[in-house]
Structure 1
Amino acid sequence: MSESIDKTNFLDLKSCDPEKVISRTGCKFDKIKEQYFVDIWGYTYCVDLNKYEVRPEGPGLKPHHNCLYLFILYYLMKSKNMLPSGVWVSEKDIRGGAAFFRGPHTIPADLITARFGEDIDLFKKGCEKLGGIPIELADAAFLFKITPTIPVAVLYWQGDEDFPSEAKLLFDKNIEQHLPLDIIYALAVEVCNAFG
């Protein structure tokens, strides 16, 4: 399931002190099998350092081009034990984001509007199905606890005859402390594709 992820990522994680990884992320580690178990967006995933793979323990989310698995590896390697700030920012407000999140790295929020169109109630049901918590932004918005330290908000503005519907992702300001821009992008791609 993780065949397109460079083996180096697994080796980098293997070089990390498991006790530090556990204290930063709250994951579990099987020392004998060399496997991490981490909860991501309500599902448990196994990172097998010997088989160089990430796999769901149970149903899990259907990953999009292994972006989710790459996010999981980096989350285990790089995230900090830092609570969310409570301040939402767009991808362009993240340090370096204005230059990075354009062209091929534009967040594909259009996948969300393509799925729900003008049906905001269907959007709300889709968010609830994915474990979203309603928040007071836009016409409808939901917070998703990807991890205890990394929330993502999905905002939706219902279109009308003059303007099409629009979706947008917001991130907690502290996300830049946890992840590099390309991994934030990988997470955003997964969030947008989860609605498909």
Structure 2
Amino acid sequence: MDVEERTSSSGYAKPPWIFKGSALYQIHLVKASTARAFIPKEFRLVEAFGYTLGGFFLASYDDSPAGVFDELVMIAGIVWNPPTSCAWAARVLVNSREACHHGRKEVGLPSQVARFSKKITAVPKRKRERAFGFLDTFGLGTTLSHPEDLMEVKVSEVDNAVSANICNIQIRSDVWGLTGCLRIRD
């Protein structure tokens, strides 16, 4: 039996699309007043005590409808979209023109082309100064007790021949997908 490939007008297979790779999703509280600047007026912001959940999504795709690419999604907050809620992408940066086109035309994302650079460095062993609390008794404190690799991802927005640094993200490579730190640059 022949299976016919369904394609959209842009040449991509119709959804659902499959993206394979690794990702890190970090959420944090964002002031509702800050998030509203990025969310269209027709959507209701999900908030409590003046805050919503925002954050970022960093992914490195080995296989996707748009090929191999990296993506950074900056999430302004959570919006109510009946019958459920969803994260609102304030910015989407990708390092592939094909991925940018796919995001804009097929998904409706505000995708922009950016430059991603990745560097892995070893973090030297640090001594524990003293126990700080309950978690330290189980070796789960906040200081590092063994050497590890640190992955640094730098993202720069590209506008014609001009590029501007957007952020640096540092991730312990042994917990890729579980923890990270985002620093936004103006």
TM interval, shorter chain, is under 0.3
Which has a greater percent of strand? 2
Q: When the two structures are superposed, what TM-score results if normalisation uses the length of structure 1?
A: 0.21
Q: When the two structures are superposed, what TM-score results if normalisation uses the length of structure 2?
A: 0.22
Which has a greater percent of helix? 1
Kindly name which structure, 1 or 2, has the bigger radius of gyration based on alpha carbons. Answer: 2
